[in-house]
Amino acid sequence: MKTIHVNVKQLGKKYPILAEQPINIDTEEDTISIQELLHFIVQQQVENYNQKSIEKEDEDVQKLPKENYLPLLIESGKASFSSIYNENKVNLIKAQETASQAFEDGMFAIFLGDQQFEDLAEEVSLTTNQSFTFIRLTFLVGSYW
């Protein structure tokens, strides 16, 4: 089990960086491909999501935030109560395929320090102390084609 640090960013001035978070990936290898990295990260995120409890409408009808949560709402400017209302579990294989396809389609970019990865077959070292940065890319005008 190795721990990597991941930054998630999006373009724009409003919320340029969302968070840096440590992610445990299930490998003992020092070097893996970008595709394997994506699969490990998606696996960890899917496991976290599938373990969360599902909100039932009869439990908290008003969905009011607690007192200690209000400063976080003010800081982020976004109301997110971390509640799950969909009872379906995420399919891990489908989620991994979707992440790989999104990377190939240029929907997001992956960096390690100043190095950008552009191919799923590229190898990356997990022994560096640098953080991985994922940047969600958005289309500015027009359509996808």
Range of the domain at 106: 2-54+91-136
pLDDT tens sequence across 100-126: 999 999 999 999 988 999 999 999 988
Structure tokens at 106: 């240029």
Q: How many domains does the chain have?
A: 1
Q: Would strands 108-112 and 115-117 be described as parallel, antiparallel, or unpaired?
A: antiparallel
CB 39 within 8 A of CB 96: yes
Residue 76 lies in a domain: no
**In the prediction, which pLDDT does 54 show?**
61
Q: Give all strands (DSSP E) within 11-51, no chain letters.
A: 17-25, 31-33
Using pLDDT thresholds of 50, 70 and 90, give the confidence band for residue 15. low
Host H or E run for residue 123: strand 123-125
118 bridge partner residues:
none
DSSP state of 84: B
- Both tokens assigned to 131: 């953080």
Is the residue at 62 inside a domain?
A: no
Does residue 59 fall inside a structural domain? no
Q: What is the pLDDT of residues 23-76, one digit of tens each?
A: 888 888 889 999 999 999 999 989 888 887 665 544 444 555 566 666 666 666
| pLDDT for 78 | 58
Tokens of 46: 């899917």
The enclosing domain of 29 has a CATH number of 3.10.20
Mean pLDDT, to the nearest integer, of 86-94?
84
- The answer as to whether 48 is a domain residue is yes
